[in-house]
């Protein structure tokens, strides 16, 4: 007979799977209820022109080694790779694309008068940013949003031309709505210590040296496959097509009306807060073009809001970014991944393919004719606006409470599930010999 559940985890994205694993390792009986037919949530695979590619997350932040350590525990350590170090580019709203200033954090420059910063912000913008070093350290100390902090220390141009494109690319939100302490942990403390924002960025970068992101040879979706196998081996029960409609501290109600009871419930999804009319659309093009062989825009570009004639907010030249991917492709074949905010979800697929092709042509500066396109796919990811309010007695993990990105999500899911485990496991009295 099946052991009754100690914990039900609602949501089989990375957060839910990581939590389920930690709880199972702690000796608890766990069931994961996932609404869709497959696990992984925003880490997923799709096949375009016969190539298996990431449909969602394709890399992870290397800061703190959270993700790398976890991948190593799962036996994927050997598959961890670094991206090509050619760097990314930036398309300002006006003027040609420029290489992204090499040193920075979320687009905040460590050296405001560096050539790359001047190219992106203009000399006036860079001079205003440099004023950061003579402003009193209390300026920005009480700023709560990232935008306000950057604006008061370095000026509007750095915010608009460097920080906003980077931050919007990562968080799909305007920096005016993002808490500086959440998206850039430690930055305000480092500002208080260093006395300037550029100094704070330098000190944070020194404490986390090396490439800012890593990936997996074969794709990030391999993480989901490895986690799935690991959970099955640990006896975790996995139910797909199991959409929860209600949760309480000890009970989950499924859309079918079935009720599941457990000693604890972990919510790994912003239940009920998903907005389906606002979305990130990923448009993937597989193209044949010798003009792209030299990676004319490095690993890709971030596009400043308001750039005339371009609808994409970012383009990743995936086969330039990931050498393992290039190695699987025939000569002159390339994978381009464009992301759109709320564009193309309602268009016919062919119309979006054409918009993406023309955007890619303009951004990369290389002609791409319709007959150069070997394959195309669209993936629509709904954006979640309001993170769930903590429900009484229900534990919560995942993006809604941890911020965006695998590093934040994995770290929070591990910490929170340790608290769940402690709450459910009676403390062992220490027996003195
Ligand atoms: C296009 C895109 C690219 C990204 N790129 C990167 C990147 O390169 N690097 C990075 O670090 N991060 C990236 N991210 C962010 C990263 O993917 C997420 O932060 C992370 O995957 C979120 O994991 P999660 O488990 O919290 O949520 P999700 O992945 O959203 O998982 C939630 C799960 O809950 C399920 N669910 C929803 N409602 C219910 C319900 N009622 N009952 C049961 N189950 C339910 C969903 O089906 C889903 O499987 C990207 C995100 C997107 C959309």
Could you check whether 5-44+58-79+218-275+386-424 and 100-210 share the same CATH topology? no
CA of 220 to the centre of ligand 1 (A): 13
Q: What's the gap in Å between 43 CA and the centre of ligand 1?
A: 6
Whether the CA torsion 31, 274, 184, 53 is positive or negative: it is positive
Written as one string, the DSSP assignment of 273-326 is -EEEEEEEEEEEEEEE-GGGTT-TTTTEEEE-TT-TT---SEEEEHHHH-HHHH
Ligand 1 neighbours (beta carbon < 6 A):
10-16, 33-36, 41-43, 56-61, 243-244, 268-269, 271, 280, 282, 381, 398-399, 404-406, 409
Distance 34 CA to ligand 1 centre (A): 12
Q: Label residues 168-185 b or e (16+ Cβ within 10 Å = b).
A: bbbbbbebeebebeebbe
Q: Whose CA is nearest to atom 10 of ligand 1?
A: 405
pLDDT at residue number 272: 57
Q: Within 10 Å of residue 288's Cβ, how many Cβ atoms?
A: 17
User: Which residues are 265's β-sheet partners?
Assistant: 8
* φ, ψ of residue 27 in degrees (nearest 5): 90, 10
pLDDT of residue 68: 96
Question: Which pLDDT value is given to residue 212?
Answer: 80
Q: Measured between alpha carbons, how far is 2 from 239 in angstroms, rounded to an integer?
A: 14
Tokens of 301: 């570009």
Q: Cα–Cα distance between 97 and 47 in angstroms, integer? A: 30
pLDDT at 116: 84
* Atom 21, ligand 1: residue with shortest CA distance: 42
Domain 5-44+58-79+218-275+386-424 class in CATH: alpha beta
Question: Distance between CA 417 and CA 398 in Å, rounded?
Answer: 11
Please work out, in degrees rounded to the nearest 5, the angle formed at the alpha carbon of residue 96 by the alpha carbons of 93 and 101: 85
DSSP 345-365: SSS-HHHHHHHHHHHHHHHHT
CB 178 within 8 A of CB 167: yes
Indicate the domain borders of the chain: 5-44+58-79+218-275+386-424, 100-210, 279-382
Q: What CATH number is given for 100-210 in this structure?
A: 1.10.3110.10
Run means of pLDDT, 10 residues per run, the chain, 433 residues: 85 98 97 97 97 97 90 97 91 82 84 89 94 93 92 94 83 83 87 93 71 90 98 98 94 95 94 64 97 96 87 95 97 97 80 96 96 96 64 88 90 96 76 55
- Tokens matching residue 88: 């990314």
List 246's β-bridge partners, or say none.
253
Tell me the DSSP string of 114-178: SHHHHHHHHHHHHHHHHGGGTS-TTTTTT--BHHHHHHHHH-HHHIIIIIHHHHHHHHSS-GGGS
Question: Strand, coil or helix: what is 226?
Answer: helix
Q: Give the architecture (CATH level 2) of 279-382.
A: Alpha-Beta Complex (3.90)
Q: Which residues of 64-97 are buried (b: 16+ CB within 10 A; e: fewer)?
A: eebbbebbeebebeebbbebbeebbbbbbeeeeb
What local confidence, expressed as pLDDT, does residue 105 receive? 86
Distance 13 CA to ligand 1 centre (A): 6
Instruction: Give whole-number Cα distances, 312 to 223, 316, 349, in Å.
Output: 28, 11, 15
């Amino acid at each position: 007979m099946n052991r009754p559940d100690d914990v039900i985890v609602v949501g089989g994205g990375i957060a839910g799977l990581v939590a389920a694993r930690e709880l199972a390792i702690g000796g608890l009986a766990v069931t994961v209820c996932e609404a869709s037919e497959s696990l992984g949530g925003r880490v997923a695979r799709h096949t375009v022109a016969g190539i298996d590619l990431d449909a969602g997350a394709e890399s992870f932040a290397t800061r703190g080694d959270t993700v790398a350590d976890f991948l190593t525990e799962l036996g994927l350590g050997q598959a961890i790779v670094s991206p090509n170090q050619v760097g990314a580019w930036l398309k300002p709203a006006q003027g040609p694309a420029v290489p992204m200033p090499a040193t920075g954090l979320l687009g905040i420059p460590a050296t405001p008068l560096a050539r790359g910063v001047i190219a992106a912000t203009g000399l006036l913008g860079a001079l205003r940013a440099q004023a950061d070093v003579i402003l009193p350290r209390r300026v920005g100390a009480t700023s709560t949003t990232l935008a306000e902090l950057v604006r008061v220390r370095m000026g509007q141009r750095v915010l608009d031309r460097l920080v906003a494109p980077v931050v919007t690319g990562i968080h799909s939100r305007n920096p005016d709505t993002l808490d500086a302490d959440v998206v850039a942990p430690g930055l305000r403390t480092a500002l208080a210590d260093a006395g300037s924002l550029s100094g704070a960025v330098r000190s944070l970068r020194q404490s986390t040296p090396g490439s800012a992101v890593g990936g997996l040879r074969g794709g990030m979706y391999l993480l989901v496959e490895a986690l799935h196998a690991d959970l099955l081996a640990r006896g975790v029960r996995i139910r797909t097509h199991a959409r929860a409609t209600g949760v309480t501290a000890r009970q989950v109600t499924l859309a079918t009306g079935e009720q599941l009871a457990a000693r604890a419930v972990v919510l790994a999804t912003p239940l009920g807060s998903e907005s389906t009319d606002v979305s990130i659309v990923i448009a993937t093009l597989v193209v044949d073009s010798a003009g792209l062989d030299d990676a004319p825009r490095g690993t890709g570009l971030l596009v400043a809001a308001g750039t005339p004639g371009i609808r994409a907010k970012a383009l990743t030249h995936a086969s330039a970014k990931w050498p393992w991917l290039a190695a699987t492709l025939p000569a002159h074949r390339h994978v381009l991944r464009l992301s759109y905010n709320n564009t193309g979800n309602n268009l016919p697929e062919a119309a979006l393919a054409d918009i993406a092709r023309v955007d890619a042509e303009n951004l990369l500066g290389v002609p791409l004719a319709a007959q150069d396109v070997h394959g195309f796919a669209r993936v629509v990811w709904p954006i979640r606006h309001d993170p769930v309010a903590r429900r009484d007695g229900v534990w919560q993990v995942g993006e809604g409470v941890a911020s965006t990105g695998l590093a934040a999500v994995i770290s929070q899911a591990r910490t929170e599930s340790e608290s769940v485990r402690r709450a459910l496991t009676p403390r062992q009295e220490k027996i003195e010999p």
